[in-house]
């Protein structure tokens, strides 16, 4: 019988295959699929942190060019992925690469603000990745990064309606499978788009909430995202350790490698 990690990897591979068949027109000129060219670190992430049941799944929108677009890890700011999450693996290149947005993998020197904020909050409150992931997981709803001719990001909600339909069908199916495997009580959208997609895909399967997105394009996030997100999580009744508790936290917990689940259905 397969483990949770094995089924999570299988679900990610199916998502990768499903979205790789989709096509997108202008103004989108380039589409990156990190599940293809950055599968090595994505695999490490799932095997290390997606191998057990969770209480909370935090859901982002889609990759950023200097985060998951480089490392294959959600909110994957390079230094945080390597130093805090302990993940480092070879990363390839997309077949059709934008000259202004090259994929350099872990050699990328640009910092993704959103990723630095997310994992910075986790480290400051939980101390270690192992402690945080004991009951929590971070995922992205959509695995694709969309760019226009200028190199500007185009978020999934700005795609043409016909293009969104096929993409959302694949992403909804994957999110439902992740929730089936990890069995969380809560799915928390990081931003309004992720919250809405979770509600559409999951219905009443789980409790659904939202926290502020950490994007530097948000004036509110720039005035103190970590404090705002902490307050929002606590308002939902979710535990967030006090900063002073970091030195008193429990020792890191080894991820159970052989937790088992039923085979995938459908």
User: How does pLDDT run across 28-84, given as a tens digit for each residue?
Assistant: 999 999 999 999 999 999 999 999 999 999 999 999 999 999 999 999 999 999 999
Rounded average pLDDT per 10-residue block, the chain, 266 residues: 96 98 96 98 98 98 97 97 97 95 96 97 97 98 97 95 96 98 98 98 97 96 97 97 60 36 38
Contact 31, 158 (CB under 8 A): no
SS3 35: helix
For position 244, what pLDDT does the model report? 58
∠ CA 173-178-183, nearest 5°, is 130
- Helix spans in 183-258 (H): 192-202, 219-222, 225-235
- If you compute the radius of gyration of the chain from its CA atoms, what whole number of angstroms results? 17
Listed in sequence order, the residues at least 6 apart from 234 whose beta carbon sits closer than 8 Å to its beta carbon are: 240
For position 263, what pLDDT does the model report? 38
Task: Find residue 59's DSSP bridge partners.
Answer: 139, 189
For position 107, what pLDDT does the model report? 97
- pLDDT tens sequence across 109-123: 999 999 999 999 999
For residue 211, give Cα distances in angstroms to 174, 191, 220, 228, 242. 22, 6, 12, 8, 18
Cis amide bond preceding 32, omega within 30: no
Cis amide bond preceding 27, omega within 30: yes
SS3 211: strand
pTM of the shown model: 0.90
Of 60, 26, 68, give the one whose Cα is nearest residue 158: 26
Q: β-pairing, 136-140 with 28-32?
A: unpaired
């Amino acid at each position: 019988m397969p483990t949770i990690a094995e089924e999570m990897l299988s679900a990610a591979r199916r998502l990768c295959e499903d979205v790789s068949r989709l096509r997108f027109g202008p103004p989108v000129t380039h589409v990156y699929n990190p599940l293809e060219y950055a599968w090595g670190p994505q695999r490490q992430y799932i095997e290390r942190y997606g191998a057990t049941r969770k209480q909370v799944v935090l859901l982002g929108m889609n990759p950023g060019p200097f985060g998951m677009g480089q490392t294959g890890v959600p909110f994957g700011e390079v230094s945080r992925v390597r130093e805090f999450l302990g993940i480092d693996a070879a990363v390839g290149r997309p077949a059709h690469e934008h000259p202004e947005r090259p994929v350099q993998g872990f050699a990328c020197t640009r910092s993704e603000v959103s990723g630095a904020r997310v994992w910075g909050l986790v480290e400051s409150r939980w101390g270690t990745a192992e402690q945080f992931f004991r009951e929590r997981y971070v995922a992205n709803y959509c695995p694709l990064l969309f760019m226009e001719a200028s190199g500007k990001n185009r978020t999934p909600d700005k795609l043409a309606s016909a293009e969104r339909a096929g993409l959302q069908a694949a992403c909804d199916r994957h999110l439902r499978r992740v929730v089936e495997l990890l069995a969380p009580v809560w799915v928390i959208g990081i931003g309004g788009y992720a919250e809405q997609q979770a509600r559409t895909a999951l219905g009443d399967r789980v409790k659904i909430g939202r926290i502020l997105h950490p994007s530097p394009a948000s004036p509110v996030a720039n005035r103190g995202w970590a404090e705002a997100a902490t307050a929002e999580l606590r308002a939902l009744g979710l535990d967030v350790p006090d900063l002073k508790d970091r030195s008193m936290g429990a020792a890191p917990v080894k991820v159970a490698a052989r937790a088992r689940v039923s085979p995938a259905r459908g």
